[in-house]
Amino acid sequence: MSAPASLVVTDLRTRFGSDRVGATVVDGVTFTLLPGRTTALVGESGCGKSATALSLMRLIDKPGRIIGGSVTLNGRDLLGLSESEMEQVRGAAIGMIFQDPLTSLNPALTIGQQIVETLQAHRPMSRADADRTAIDLLTRVGVTDAARRIGDYPHHFSGGMRQRVLIAAAISCSPSVIIADEPTTALDVTVQAKILRLLHDLQGAMGASLLLITHDLGVVASMADEVLVMYAGRIVERADVDTLFHDPRHPYTKALLACVAGIEDDRSVPLEPIGGSAPDLWNPPVGCRFAPRCPVVQDVCRSQDQPLRRISAEHEAACILVEEDRMHG
């Protein structure tokens, strides 16, 4: 088991395409994951959440690359490591649950082999021990009859079961940082509750830090300590979970929260998406990227980037209104 660690990300930038035509899908992202804490990352579909997660693991595929910033795990610069050193970090120190379960599992390996492979890559372990650990892990994530199903192939599993296989593989080496990209999208609420509690307990027991990417604001509310809101490649608001839900300051955050449909709502409540459409990252607008859709937009927003402004130690938002609110009292 690795010691509790903090992962510090500073001004991370990741780009797809060439220097001339391309999209900087992660554009100056800065945050810190602290031991024992859960940080949620939310934002519009396609805003760069998965790209951020993959950048932390240095798993951005070829036409894309990390063009700037730093990622340090306990003071160790991950972006400077060689590929073989990075392989030791992946899976062992940082565990990742990928968004698309089927493409992340090897179709030619059985479910058992996929987990055993991760285990044996990082720890000397006999095959029998590894098998036993794999069965134990699968049982913990709620796969029924794990001992028998360990010999099945990924396409024999249901969507949610595949997702749980990925979760089992990610936590198999007790990583000190867990990156979970939409870990419960295919799980019904009871299994989701079980998985969330499992992650929560792991975190309590090992002091691991958790980066949780999700669209389910209910999951955010129940799991997160801190929330990062991302829009078009940038972090636009950072706050502790209570503040975020009860005193959001960025217009995008407000609009997002307004879209939540709870179980209490009935059919008469209209479905209200945020007006306008997400900016094209290959051709981003000048100034604040939310400006074209912002209900309270001002002239400066359309010409100048809005940096994150401090509201309190725990709360930042990238909006000019923060400044104005401060001036008015």
Partner 1 sequence: MAETSIATTPPPDTLLEVVGLSKSFGGRRGRTSGIRAVADVDLTLRRGETLGLVGESGCGKSTLSRLILSLLEPDAGQVRIAGIDFTHAPERHRRELRRRIQVVFQDALSSLNPRMTIGANIAEPMRLQGLGSAALRRTEARRLLGLVGLRPEHEDRYPHEFSGGQCQRIAIARALMLQPEIIVFDEAVSALDVSIRAQILRLILDLQRQFGLSYIFISHDLGVIKRICDRIAVMYLGQIVEIGPAETVCRAPRHPYTAALLRAIPIADPRRMRVSDLGQIEGDAVGAVKPDACPFAPRCPKQFDPCDKRRPALIDVAPGHQAACHLNEPEAC
Partner 2 sequence: MSTLDTSTSIDAARADRGSSRARFWRMKSFARDRGAVVSATLLAAVVLAVVLAPTLAGVGPDDADNLARYAPMGTAGHLLGTDQQGRDMLARLLFGGRVSLLIGVVPTVIAGMIGLGLGLMAGYWRGLVDQIIMRCLDVVFAFPMVLLAIAIAGSMRPGVLTEVIAITVVLIPYFARLARTATEGIVPMPFIEAARAAGGTRLTIMLRYVLPNVFSPVVVYATTLMGLMIVVGSGLSFIGLGVQPPTADWGAMVAEGRVVLRRAPHVTILPGCAILLVSLAFNFLGDGIRDALDPRTIRR
Ligand X SMILES: Nc1ncnc2c1ncn2[C@@H]1O[C@H](COP(=O)(O)OP(=O)(O)OP(=O)(O)O)[C@@H](O)[C@H]1O
Restricting to residues 90-119, which ones interact with ligand X according to CB under 6 A? 99
57 versus 288: smaller Cβ distance to Mg ion? 57
For the bound state, the minimum distance from the C-beta of residue 42 to partner 1, rounded and expressed in Å, comes to: 7
- First and final CA of the chain: distance in angstroms? 49
312 lies in the site for partner 1, by CB under 8 A: no
277 versus 303: smaller Cβ distance to partner 2? 277
Max CA separation in the chain (angstroms): 68
Residues 270-299 that bind ligand X (CB under 6 A): 281
Residues 254-293 that bind partner 1 (CB under 8 A): 255-257, 259-263, 265-267, 269, 271-274, 277-278, 280
Structure tokens at 134: 């794999």
| x/- track of binding to partner 2 for residues 35-64 (CB under 8 A) | --------------------------xxx-
| Strand partners of residue 309 | 317
Q: What are phi and psi of 35, to 5 degrees?
A: -55, 140
102 lies in the site for partner 2, by CB under 8 A: yes
103 versus 298: smaller Cβ distance to partner 2? 103
Place of tokens 């130690």: 313
# binding residues, ligand X (CB under 6 A): 22
| DSSP single-letter state for residue 82 | -
| 170: nearest Cα among 90, 273, 265 | 90
158 lies in the site for partner 2, by CB under 8 A: no
The CA–CA distances, whole Å, from 146 to 82, 136, 142 equal 37, 8, 9
Alpha helices in 67-110, H assignment, sequence order: 83-89, 101-104
For the bound state, the minimum distance from the C-beta of residue 224 to ligand X, rounded and expressed in Å, comes to: 17
84 lies in the site for ligand X, by CB under 6 A: no
Among 76, 80, 85, 103, binds partner 1 (CB under 8 A): 103
215 lies in the site for partner 1, by CB under 8 A: yes
Question: DSSP letter string over 156-194?
Answer: GS-HHHHHHHHHHHHHTT--SEEEEESTTTTS-HHHHHH
| 318: nearest Cα among 310, 327, 306 | 306
Question: Rounded to an integer, what distance in angstroms lies between the CA atom of residue 40 and that of residue 154?
Answer: 28
For the bound state, the minimum distance from the C-beta of residue 99 to Mg ion, rounded and expressed in Å, comes to: 5
82 versus 158: smaller Cβ distance to Mg ion? 158
211 lies in the site for ligand X, by CB under 6 A: no
The sign of the CA dihedral 270, 275, 276, 281 is: negative
Quick one: what does residue 218 bind among partner 1, ligand X, Mg ion, none, with the CB cut-off 5 to 8 Å set by partner type? partner 1
186 lies in the site for ligand X, by CB under 6 A: yes
319 lies in the site for ligand X, by CB under 6 A: no
Question: Rounded to an integer, what distance in angstroms lies between the CA atom of residue 194 and that of residue 207?
Answer: 19
Q: Catalog residues that contact Mg ion under the rule CB under 5 A.
A: 50, 99, 158-159
Q: Catalog residues that contact partner 2 under the rule CB under 8 A.
A: 17-18, 21, 61-63, 102, 107-108, 153, 155, 280, 282-283
